[in-house]
Structures are given as C-alpha cells and as structure tokens.
Amino acid sequence: MSLIHAEGLYAGYGGVDILRNTHLRVGADEIVVIVGPNGAGKSTAMKAMFGLVPVRAGTVTYRGEDITNRPPERMVTRGIAYVPQEANIFPSLSVLENLELGAYAIPGDMSPRLEKVFEIFPRLRERRHQQAGVMSGGERQMVAMGRALMVDPHLLMLDEPTAGLSPRLIDETIERIREVNQLGIGVLMVEQNARQALAVADRGYVLATGENRHEDSGPALLANPEVAEMFLGG
C-alpha cells in the first residue's frame, strides 16, 4: 500500500493552475525524488500535498485517508513532516529550541525523539545551544531536517535539501537522508542535484510545466537519454 498518493492534482495561486493533472506516489519505506526544470511546479506539488496551496481538483490520500486540503497542523499530527525550500529554520532560536518546537504538536515525552535526531546528526548535539541563524548552510539544513524528524514522521517531505551546499556536503546530506529512510521513514524529495539524488532513489518523477513527464526507478531515469539531456546536463 502506498504511504501517500496524489492523484490528478490541479492547484496553483490566485486562480491560475500551476499543477495540471499531477500524480505522485510514495510507498512505505521508499525514497522518491522529483526532478524538473525551475518553475516546473515541484515545490507547488509538495505544498499542495501538505495543504499549503489549495487543491482545486484531485485527491491526496495518506495511508488510506483522504487528506486533501487539510490544514498543515493536521498533517503534522498524522505523521507527515515537511521541510520547505527556503526559510526552513527559526533563525533567532537556538538549535535545541528549533528541535523542541518541531515536536510542539506531538504529545508525549520528546526526549527519545531528540536522542534519535542527535544520533543522526551528532553535530547538532554539539551545537545545541547555538543560535540557528548564525550557523553554516549545511548545519542549518541539518537543523531543518532535525526539526522535521521531531514529529516522528512516517513521511518526510524535503524541498531541495542540498540547495547551495558544497559537493562534499551534498553527498553527506544525501547519505543522511538514506539513513533516515532506513529507519522506516518514507521520503519524498525535490532535488536539483538530480544525479546524486536519483542514485539513491527507489523511484523518480520528472515534472515539467506542472505535468508528469516521466516516472521510473531512479537508475532507469538516470539512464534515460531524454531525461539525461533535459536535466542532467547531457
């Protein structure tokens, strides 16, 4: 059974549809990557699934339940965590406070979750009293992911988690995402660094002008000459 399934989505801003008949699916334990040119609607697709952009037609089903157009806090309590592309930390709060707030909507003791996040990102434990806004780009991305993991999610949605990182950090971040996935968390991520991302992906989607173009396993997409030409720089 799929974890989340978006079917025939039409959604956009101010009456203009950006997504047109978009469909996406993530199975439990899968890593699914969305690639596509700038402005293709990748971020919009994630926001629509998370209830941040109104869905005009189509449905989003999560573990068999229709969650179309539910408010974001309901998504969080159901176990969906989302890391936006930009402005994804609370800059004037400490690392620890960022993580604590991630667990705000989830009842119960958060220390086991905190421990789990610190295990995945030991760097965050070291710097837990640091003000998040003054940290390096890579560390901020860790804070952002850590914040999302505090939800103890079944599904983690990441919008361009490696944007602006150095090649070494890109590899490291992708590796972390794989580790998270191995804990049994489904991952849906948008990536510009398609080569590295598709290499670890179970499946991938190519989105262009709000429509599905290709859908295949990660390696198959990498091998697809048309995809390679369009997005992977030849």
Partner 1 sequence: MIEVIQLLINGILLGSILALGAVGATMIFGVLRFAHFAHGDFMAVGAYFALTVVTVFNLPVLAALPVAMAGTAALAVAIDQVVYKRIRRVQPVILLISSFATALVLRSAIQMIWGSSNQVYETGIQLPWRIGPLTLKPDHLLIFAAAAGLVLMVHLFLTRTRMGKAMRAMSDNMDLALITGIPADRVIMWTWAIGGALAAAAGVLLGMDTRLHPVMGWTLLLPIFAATILGGIGRPYGAILGGLVIGCAMELSTLIIPGSYKPAVAFAIMVLTLIFRPQGIIKGAV
Given strand 16-27, what is the order of strands in its sheet?
A: 16-27, 2-13, 55-62, 65-66
Q: Which of partner 1, ligand ADP, Mg ion, none does residue 88 bind (CB under 5 to 8 Å by kind)? A: partner 1
Give the residue carrying structure tokens 């990557």: 33
Q: Which of ligand ADP, partner 1, Mg ion, none does residue 111 bind (CB under 5 to 8 Å by kind)? A: none
A 10 A CB-CB count for 190 gives 23
User: CB under 6 A: which stretch of 25-33, 34-42, 62-70, 124-132 binds ligand ADP?
Assistant: 34-42
Taking the complex as a whole, how short is the minimal distance between the CB of residue 100 and partner 1, in angstroms?
Answer: 6
And the tokens for 51?
């209830």
DSSP SS3 for 9: strand
Q: Which of ligand ADP, Mg ion, partner 1, none does residue 84 bind (CB under 5 to 8 Å by kind)? A: partner 1
Q: Which of Mg ion, partner 1, ligand ADP, none does residue 132 bind (CB under 5 to 8 Å by kind)? A: partner 1
DSSP SS3 for 187: strand
DSSP H/E element including 13 = strand 2-13
Cα–Cα dist 16/9, whole Å: 13
Give the nearer residue to partner 1 in terms of CB position, either 48 or 76: 76
Q: Does 6 bind ligand ADP (CB under 6 A)?
A: no
Phi/psi for 32 (5° steps) reads -120, 130
Taking the complex as a whole, how short is the minimal distance between the CB of residue 11 and partner 1, in angstroms?
Answer: 17
Give the nearer residue to Mg ion in terms of CB position, either 42 or 140: 42
Q: Given candidates 3, 4, 43, 188, which one binds Mg ion under the rule CB under 5 A?
A: 43
3-state percent breakdown (helix, strand, coil) of the chain, nearest 5:
40, 30, 30
Phi/psi for 118 (5° steps) reads -65, -30
Give the residue carrying structure tokens 């890109």: 170
Taking the complex as a whole, how short is the minimal distance between the CB of residue 13 and ligand ADP, in angstroms?
Answer: 3
Total site size for ligand ADP, rule CB under 6 A: 10
Query: Which residues are near partner 1 by CB under 8 A?
Result: 50, 52, 72-73, 75-77, 82, 84, 87-93, 97, 100-102, 104-106, 131-134, 147, 151
* Nearest residue to Mg ion on Cβ basis: 43
Q: Does 44 bind ligand ADP (CB under 6 A)?
A: yes
Phi/psi for 30 (5° steps) reads -90, 155
Residues near ligand ADP (CB under 6 A) are 13, 18, 36, 38-44
